[in-house]
Structure 1
Amino acid sequence: MGPRLYRRVLLTTLTLLAIAAVIYTISRIIAFAQLFGLTKPHSGIRITQAEIAAAHKTNPDPREPLVPKIIHQIFHNWHDANDDTLRPDWAAARKTCVNLHPDWEHMLWTTKSSRKFIEEKFPWFLPVYDRYPYPVQKVDVIKYFVLRYYGGIYIDLDNGCAANLEPLLYYPAFTTDGGHGALSNNIVGGQRGHPLFSLLTDNLLRWQVNYILPYATIMYASGQWYFTAMWERYHSLLSREEEWLQGSDEPGLAPLYHILMDGRPGADPWVFFTQVDGNSWANWDNRMFSVIGDNIAYITLLFSSIFLLVLWACMRYSTRGSPETTEKQSAA
């Protein structure tokens, strides 16, 4: 192979690799942006709390309830596993749910009971559970496993109840939606064994990546970004002939509901839930990602533009020394 041909093959190979890199990078940017609903609205059916309450006004409700009357909450004392005393504001918020649901089962998952549950019901996951670098990741995954095993409604301790949650029992699986950004996993509910919860638990091992930054690692490996990715995957599988969806007699294999819980001024009113102070797992990079989240559209556009500009500059530089360019410069 002559030097000219070798150089041409090399430049062609580099160009093809660059094109592949562009396609892959753009696909990852689009996938990341979709977690925040930037490229298209979140999959499923968006519904307000007022609409849910209105749908339940018929007495008795003609629909068949799907979700068991269980409220799950989690308290992991990261300083003393033997102390299960709640913060006063969290205890007060929890009491609102207990008082409004006297005939429901209320399960408070502590540090010890959570680990015992994983050890007894999902022993294959225990090594991963014990290795989580950030304690809040254990809180995240317990939500998914208890909903898969028991069904019911999970509520963060910094949320309380403003009304009876019976109107939510008719939705096979649901989550809450802050109206912007990723979907929330602070309030999640559904029937026992729903495929969404299987997706959430079965894919945790594959998503165990350390992104160096604590916030990104937590959010992508178990938190809201992970939850949103699995929510989108569930809805993408609905249109495919997947064994776990097709041919099943279980109810609920349909688009799911994300319930609006937007706290911004002028948003739809909250009917079922209240909010108290949370912020129990703040890391040094939380503020940085909060700013990024508020400006994610602009930041995505900026980084995409920078990437394409750098790629264009590299390709332009690589072709300056090509045989054709050299010949043209010599002829000139």
Structure 2
Amino acid sequence: MRVSIRISVILWAVALLACLGVGISRLLVFKQIFFEHAGIAITQPEVAAAHTGVNETRPQLIPKIIHQVFHNWRSPGNDTLPSDWNNVRLTCTNANPDWEYKLWTEKSSREFIEAEYPWFLTPYDRYRYPVQRVDAVRYFLLLHYGGIYLDLDNGCKGDLTPLLYYPMWITDGGRGALSNNILASRPNHPFWNRLTLSLIPYNYDWFFPYATISYASGQWFETAIWEQYHSLLPPVKDSPDFEHRLYRLMMDDRPGADEWVFFTQERGGTWVNWDNYLFLMIGDHLVVFALIVLGSISLTIWLGTRLNRRYRDGYLRLKGLPNQHMISSIHAPL
């Protein structure tokens, strides 16, 4: 009995440490989300000020295409946008009448992947959560067509033309991971090539829905690839040409942040799962959470040590006696 308990404690401790090791090793891939991101940060007022309209001498790099994706997984086959999202969509099409507009449904998205990137069709179909297909297809659309991608809960304040004179940009909320709700690029940019090729090796099930979506295809995944891409570029001092350094369009919504000149944020939250609230709570109380985790690990180690000593060599230590006084054949019940 004593030996089996001891073995169980040891195995449980080894399993716990192994799980922690695997989890930490995987999380280290995403360590950059907590620090200043690579690339060139630009504010929306700066973009607007840099645009000179008809006298613009810079080449337009991004085509005038707006992409949006609507997969109605609550009512499959119904491709009619909710009225509020349709009104938000109209703010973009009305302000940019000479642009091509593409609304990608569940059917047309899959047909696009099947026709242009058939090697990804099986992983695409096998995604555990439907929103992961929405994440993935936006990356392939920008790789193939270029243009500007917007989530359906993002509207437009006006003409988006000033945003077309950069080879590629993503949005940065100013804290945590980069965003994938508004993205833009010229066709066939190497960043999207690297990102789409990384979707399969990053497709890991983290058990928690929010973590799985964010790490496997969402904004934490995108942030990791962003940092990888820039880490492969020559240092700025060796390459003053910023051609390959990508841009982060700042979209910080906190009081005092730079004005949003081009976009709005409306109703969202369509893919919120039960663990979203858990991770939000952890983020708001990160120090407390870290103390709880460290306390749990310390308690586990302490209990394991106590149990190991209690039954070491089949002896029970008697209270009040020196360590060398042991009595055998007396076993304490658990």
How high is the TM-score relative to the length of structure 1?
A: 0.78
Which of 113, 116, 124 lines up with 1:118 in the alignment? 113
Kindly indicate whether residue 280 of structure 2 is the aligned counterpart of residue 290 of structure 1.
yes
Deviation at 1:266, TM superposition (A): 1.7
How do 1:103-114 residues align onto structure 2 when only pairs under 5 Å count?
103-114=98-109
SS of residue in 2 equivalent to 1:285: helix
Distance 2:110 2:141 in 1: 12
Aligned residue type for 2:246? L
Change in Cα spacing, 1:150 to 1:299, as seen in structure 2 (3 Å) is farther
Which of 252, 256, 267 lines up with 1:266 in the alignment? 256
Kindly indicate whether residue 145 of structure 2 is the aligned counterpart of residue 137 of structure 1.
no
Deviation at 1:283, TM superposition (A): 1.0
Which of 147, 161, 177 lines up with 1:166 in the alignment? 161
Distance 1:71 1:233 in 2: 27
Kindly indicate whether residue 210 of structure 2 is the aligned counterpart of residue 212 of structure 1.
no
Deviation at 1:79, TM superposition (A): 3.0
Distance 1:284 1:26 in 2: 23
SS of residue in 1 equivalent to 2:227: helix
Aligned residue type for 1:257? Y
Distance 2:151 2:132 in 1: 14
Deviation at 1:33, TM superposition (A): 3.7
Report percent identity of matched pairs: 52
Aligned residue type for 1:88? S
Corresponding residue number in structure 1 for 2:147:
152
Which of 257, 270, 282 lines up with 2:247 in the alignment? 257
Distance 1:116 1:197 in 2: 20
Q: Deviations over 1:92-119 (max 9, x none)?
A: 1100100111111100000100000011
CA contact (8 A) 2:157 2:263 kept: yes
Change in Cα spacing, 1:75 to 1:302, as seen in structure 2 (3 Å) is same
SS of residue in 1 equivalent to 2:248: strand
Distance 1:223 1:233 in 2: 16
Corresponding residue number in structure 1 for 2:3:
none
Aligned residue type for 1:284? W
How high is the TM-score relative to the length of structure 2?
A: 0.78
Which of 63, 70, 78 lines up with 2:65 in the alignment? 70
Distance 2:179 2:186 in 1: 18
Corresponding residue number in structure 2 for 1:232:
227
Gaps of 5+ in 2: 1-16, 236-240, 313-322, 325-334
Aligned residue type for 2:269? N
Which of 261, 281, 305 lines up with 2:271 in the alignment? 281
Distance 1:151 1:160 in 2: 19
Change in Cα spacing, 1:173 to 1:158, as seen in structure 2 (3 Å) is same
Change in Cα spacing, 1:288 to 1:21, as seen in structure 2 (3 Å) is closer
Q: How many residues align?
A: 298
CA RMSD, 1 decimal:
3.4
SS of residue in 2 equivalent to 1:268: coil
Aligned residue type for 2:225? M
Distance 1:171 1:191 in 2: 8
CA contact (8 A) 1:159 1:273 kept: yes
CA contact (8 A) 2:96 2:158 kept: no
Change in Cα spacing, 1:303 to 1:171, as seen in structure 2 (3 Å) is farther
Deviation at 1:200, TM superposition (A): 1.5
Corresponding residue number in structure 1 for 2:32:
34
Change in Cα spacing, 1:66 to 1:276, as seen in structure 2 (3 Å) is same
Deviation at 1:151, TM superposition (A): 0.5
CA contact (8 A) 2:62 2:167 kept: yes
Query: Which deviates the most, 151-160 or 277-286?
Result: 277-286
Deviation at 1:286, TM superposition (A): 1.2
SS of residue in 2 equivalent to 1:160: strand
How do 1:320-331 residues align onto structure 2 when only pairs under 5 Å count?
none
